[in-house]
Amino acid sequence: MGEQETLIDNRLSNLLLFLCQHPMTILSRDELINEVWKGLILTDQVITQAIFELRKILKTNQKHLHGYIITIPKRGYKLDIKVQIIPQPINQALHLEDNYTDKDTICTQINQYNIENKAVSQDEITNDTLNKITDETEQSSPNTHNSASFIKISHQPKKTVKLIWSIVIIAVISSTILLIFISQFSFLKINQPLNNNITTPSTDFIYNTLEPRSINAIIKTDVDLSAAQIEHGIIFKVVEYLKYKLNLPVSFYDEPHNNAAKELTFIITEEDGIHYINVEYFNRISQSQHLDRKYEIDKTNLKPTIKRILNDILISLNVKVNQEKINDLLSSIPNEPQVLLYALEALSTQKTTQDKLKPISLMKKALKLTPNNPHLLSNNYIYSMIVIYLDKSRQIQKEVSKLNQDFEHIIPILSQGTRSDKANEALAMNALSRGRPIDAIKYITDIPYTQQTVITYILKAKLSESLGNPALAEEYYYQAIYESKMPMVLEIAESLFFHSDLSKMKNKLEAQIQ
């Protein structure tokens, strides 16, 4: 697009190509499924998400509100741009040595010209077949198209297509056999240096570096964040259970992580005023999609929805967990719909908004309806303590003292029966804020290693630092940063209880990014 190049996956490139082959034409969802996805059984959300992603890429130039792709209500989609097919010399198409990753002979390029509110007539360029368009563009003058943007697609003359595809297929088969041989040989010669003459394909991951258990979680949405806090809360809660209760290595990333073999994508959408979460699980090893399910978000029925999402993900991941364990996990979730709404929104705003006081106000609303819920009480205390230390302008010691006085009244509630991990975190935080490290150690050691959260690591780091072990503290600080992927964690770590100088860690992280 102009001077900028953007790499897109096969799914989006196939969709873009098909749209370019039929410009200014309304294409139904069924046509897209049949031609782009080859008739595979898909939900409507798969099409919606692909169009959404392609639009996002194409409208980076800010010249077309809908990224050149217009939605025609109840009919389908239309590519609102003129397309020109550019013949490509056969010798250029066959010259694959300099571009190993060129998988076929068709490439797309967007050229930026002036779009001065001039409509593009469908009669200006026909699109019956690729060959007909090729003939027309060969005869047309370059000056004919100065008034609008074009998508230019290189295309081979008809006579050479079979020959080119035959050569490409042979090359792909030969490359595959060679790569299999090389990969097998590399396991035997693992310590030998690589041959510098071998060209490595420019892919987003190397097959034998994929971590089979690692799960990359991604949230995608075309709904405004302020209107989708409940949906984000549900997603964070589901991932929290997977990560901290079921010991699955799940991490949030903005895009697929190089070493994660499993991709868990949550897509928030709105249709006719109803919000949905579509959950997809894709395995990069087998290149297979094992889950694609859409869940309606009914605010009066959230707990069963969370349970269904959790169950479906576990089944698709082939992780067997009995229903008794699932019910036990969900026991900390409030049964009252309004209380659960407040709790989920509070969880979401902790992670997605800059207003640090909003989660506290939401948790207090929930606690008014269920004042003895151990999970809410623990969360409210932990987050309130963090906010006090983050705000340097406040009378910290006075407010900490008042918070701890109120906490004394809820300790008996947290200690009833088997203490939850969140309750142990709250009790350890209370002990550290009172200068009682031995008590803090007792509560922290009660939290299983597989269920230690970002807060646990920060508490362990502060405890190690206060006991004179800065090296161990740095390890815990790093683990907290790695687990959270949130810059605010450094702020919390620096200011909680006492000031910690983390400038060296910041320098290391900045150097790594650069």
- Please determine, for residue 469, whether its predicted confidence score (pLDDT) is greater than 50: yes
Q: Over the chain, what is the mean pLDDT?
A: 75
Report the candidate in 418, 438, 440 with the shortest Cα–Cα distance to residue 430. 440
Report d(CA 90, CA 147) in Å as an integer. 30
* Region for 194 from its dihedrals, namely left if φ exceeds 0, alpha if ψ lies in -120 to 50, beta otherwise: beta
- The residue ranges of every structural domain in the chain are 10-161, 211-370, 372-514
Confidence band of 128 (pLDDT split at 50, 70, 90): very low
Give residue-wise pLDDT tens across range 143-161. 333 334 455 554 444 444 4
Percent of the residues in the chain that have a pLDDT greater than 70, as a whole number = 70
Do 244 and 453 contact (CB within 8 A), yes or no? yes
pLDDT digits 0-9 by tens, 204-259: 556 677 888 889 899 998 888 888 899 999 999 999 899 888 888 888 876 666 68
Q: Are 4 and 60 in contact (CB under 8 A)?
A: yes
Model pLDDT, residue 233: 92
Pairwise pLDDT comparison (151 vs 17), residue with the higher score: 17
Band (pLDDT 50/70/90 cuts) for residue 173 is: low
Quick one: how far is CA 67 from the chain centroid?
A: 22
Domain 211-370 has CATH 1.10.3720.10: no
Can you give the pTM of this predicted structure? Answer: 0.56
Which whole number is the average pLDDT over 474-493?
81
Highest mean pLDDT out of 63-67, 100-104, 249-253, 384-388: 384-388
Please report which confidence band the pLDDT of residue 137 belongs to, taking 50, 70 and 90 as the band edges. Answer: very low
Q: If we measure between CA atoms, which residue out of 336, 230, 243 comes closest to residue 277?
A: 230
From start to end of 232-359, where are the E strands?
250-252, 260-271, 274-283, 288-296
pLDDT for the residue numbered 256? 63
Separation CA 390–CA 397 (nearest Å)? 13
- CATH 1.25.40.10 applies to domain 372-514: yes
Q: Give yes or no for a contact between 448 and 421, defined as CB atoms under 8 angstroms apart.
A: yes
In this model, does residue 321 exceed pLDDT 60?
A: yes
What average pLDDT does range 438-448 have in this prediction? Answer: 91
Write out pLDDT tens, residues 379-406: 999 999 998 988 876 788 899 999 999 9
Residue written as token pair 């868990």: 264
What is the CATH code for 10-161? Answer: 1.10.10.10
Report in angstroms the alpha-carbon separations of 163 from 93, 94, 168, 174. Answer: 11, 10, 9, 17
Q: Around 391, how many Cα atoms within 13 Å sit in the side-chain half-sphere?
A: 16
CB neighbours of residue 140 within 10 Å: 13
The torsion angles phi and psi of 419, rounded to 5 degrees, stand at -70, 140
What is the per-residue pLDDT for 159?
Answer: 44
Other CB atoms closer than 10 Å to residue 340's CB: what's the count?
24
Contact, 280 vs 267, CB < 8 A?
A: yes
Contact 256, 215 (CB under 8 A): no
Q: Is the pLDDT of residue 491 over 60?
A: yes
Does the pLDDT value for residue 189 go beyond 60?
no
pLDDT at 48 over 50: yes
